[in-house]
Chains A and B, each alone.
Chain A
Amino acid sequence: MSLLQVSDVGIAFGGVRALVDVSFAVAAGEIFALIGPNGAGKTTLFNIVSGVYRAGSGRIALAGEDVTGLEPNRLAARGLSRTFQNLQIFPQMTAVENVMVGRHLKESRSFLRHLFGLAGPDNRASRAHALAALAEVGLAGHADAMAGALSYGAAKRLEIARALATEPRILLLDEPAAGCNPVETEEIEAVIREIAAAGVTIVLVEHDMKLVMRLSHRIHVLAQGRTLASGTPDEVRHHPAVIEAYLGAHGTTEAARGRA
């Protein structure tokens, strides 16, 4: 049974059909990539799977359980977390506090306890977990820096750390390498490999073809809201429709370099 099952998902925005009958399945422990030209609907699909948008049609199942239409926080409780393409860190909190927010579901939610000063144990435990997550993404030295002051690449890794803090079974990464220079991209790739090695299933949306081809076990290609192709990196690389719609000659070369 796959960990994530997306079946016939569709959505329209005021007459524009952004997604039509998209289906795929992600097996536990995989690194699964969603690629496609801009406007293909990748982030929209992410938003639906992570509960930010409500699909017009179709079903989402997590480990066999129907989770269609659930709010993001309820999905988080079921082990699904994500990062954002347009960076949604908490700029007015420190880096470690950002990650501590990710521990929310593991902390006491008793409002009165917090009011009367009994949050100490929770604060200490969360801070320890948060520092560990920051170390995993290479940000241990920035723990008490204001998140708003971090560099772009660091902020992207901060989001990953925050998502990791929720102890997810499956992690959706929305363009983790976007806007990163080659050094930063390498760092992100290393982080992703480590997370996957720890047993977290990864679904990523990415434009960097070399990265996608190197990392992924399977790839799903979207174009204009529909599935164009699906399969292993090699299969997708050689798929004529994919080459025409997305990779083009240059992209094919890039993809080949990724598999070299």
Chain B
Amino acid sequence: MALPPAARRYLPVAAILAIVVVLPFVALGSGYHYRLATLVWTATIAVIGLNLLMGFAGQVSLGHAAFGGIAAYAVAVLPAHLGLHPVASFAVGVAAAGLLAAVVGRPILKLKGHHLAIATLGLGILVAMVIQNEAAWTGGPDGMQVPRVEIAGLRLRGAEPWYWICGLACVAAALLAVNLVDSPTGRALRAIHDSEIAAKVAGIDVPRAKLKVFVLSAVYAAVAGGLLALSSGFASPDTAGFLHSVELVTMVVLGGLGSIFGSLVGAAVLTLLPQVLTVFQDYEHLVLGALMIAVMVGLRRGIVPSLGDLLKGRRT
């Protein structure tokens, strides 16, 4: 396509915006559909953040759901136990997740490869464990209700308002990510991915750069988790668990590492699939596992990059 690079950069954002705006008119017929789409938007936000960490900076995290869980439970726990307004609780939750990432990030990011993967996995599980065990605060394994949000007298109820809030948040998330990638910070991250040592020699403070993107991706995950809890009215320990972290990573690789639009594709496929398979509830794990293997063996670069290659006439 003969678009100037600056415009080409924003293509994924425009595509996502178009889908958000057009979808209600072509495909969404009921509250259930709106809720499903909202689920996809929030998942996409988390996946974009994780993609920045994995696809661009080349670091891996198997514990990212924990950051979402922190924000989700913040909007449940803080209003219930401390009387805080849900929106303020949301801000606190996101800040707390970011703070945790900043604190554990420094030591954790010194690790590489599967050491890093395992460390993030351990961290995620510990957070999930705290959420499950401290039932007095969090409602334990049964989860916790999240109050309906009321801003200036306007009650946000029903699936539609949240569809738009989450959809537009998703567009914003993509916009920020796209800005970052084509900037000095973005180039530094991509350099780190390709050769850490050369990045250092070029003047990049590698530990600091890794920490920045780790915290940013944690904030993305927290925003996603908080919005999910607010829109569904419920915080569940599953959203912070290991399986959800694995699902997020799968969404990243399924859509394509390093592809912003791929983040939406991966999130959509893995969010909608269980819904399609509710008839075969028991087969959900089997299919998820098989899908993960099939993608990594057969479609290693993910859907969007592979399609891109196909269109350009290259073999995957």
Contact = CB atoms under 8 A, between A and B. Distances in A.
Contacts of B180: 114-115
A73 B206 contact: yes
Given A90-B195, A104-B188, A114 B202 contact: no
B106 interface: no
Contacts, number: 108
Interface string A88-132: 111111000100111111011101011111010011001000000
A100, A104, A122, most chain B CB atoms within 10 A: A104
B107 to A, nearest CB: 17
A119 B193 contact: no
A5 interface: no
Interface stretch (A17-25, A75-83, A242-250): A75-83
Contacts of B184: 103-104, 107-109, 114, 119, 122-123, 126
A72 B176 contact: no
Given A90-B195, A92-B193, A114 B200 contact: no
Q: Interface size bucket, B side?
A: 20 to 34
Nearest to A80: B201
B29 interface: no
B193 A89 contact: no
A68 interface: no
Nearest to A52: B197
A179 B128 CA distance: 53
B203 A90 contact: no
A81 B186 CA distance: 21
Interface string B193-222: 111011111111110000010001000000
A123 B147 CA distance: 45
Contacts of B212: 111
Interface in B162-206: 175-176, 179-180, 182-188, 190-191, 193-195, 197-206
Contacts of B200: 51-52, 71-73, 76
Nearest to A100: B187
A116 B201 contact: no
Contacts of A73: 200-206
A14 to B, nearest CB: 21
B195 A89 contact: yes
Interface residues of A, number: 42
A72 B195 contact: no
A115 B176 contact: yes
A188 B198 CA distance: 20
A104 B206 CA distance: 12
A50 interface: yes
A255 to B, nearest CB: 31
B195 A166 contact: no
Given A111-B212, A115-B179, A90 B188 contact: no
A80 B62 CA distance: 38
B191, B200, B202, most chain A CB atoms within 10 A: B202
A72 B206 CA distance: 10
Contact of B188 (A51, A82, A101): A101
Given A88-B197, A109-B184, A102 B179 contact: no
Given A73-B206, A108-B184, A115-B179, A90 B201 contact: no
A145 to B, nearest CB: 14
Nearest to B201: A72
A162 interface: yes
Given A89-B195, A119-B184, 12 more contacts: A72-B197, A73-B200, A77-B203, A89-B198, A90-B194, A90-B198, A93-B187, A101-B188, A115-B179, A119-B182, A122-B183, A123-B182
5 contacts: A52-B200, A52-B201, A107-B184, A109-B184, A114-B186
Interface of B: 175-176, 179-180, 182-188, 190-191, 193-195, 197-206, 212, 216
Which are the 10 A-B pairs with shortest beta-carbon distances?
A: A114-B183, A119-B183, A88-B198, A76-B203, A90-B194, A105-B203, A72-B200, A107-B184, A88-B195, A117-B179
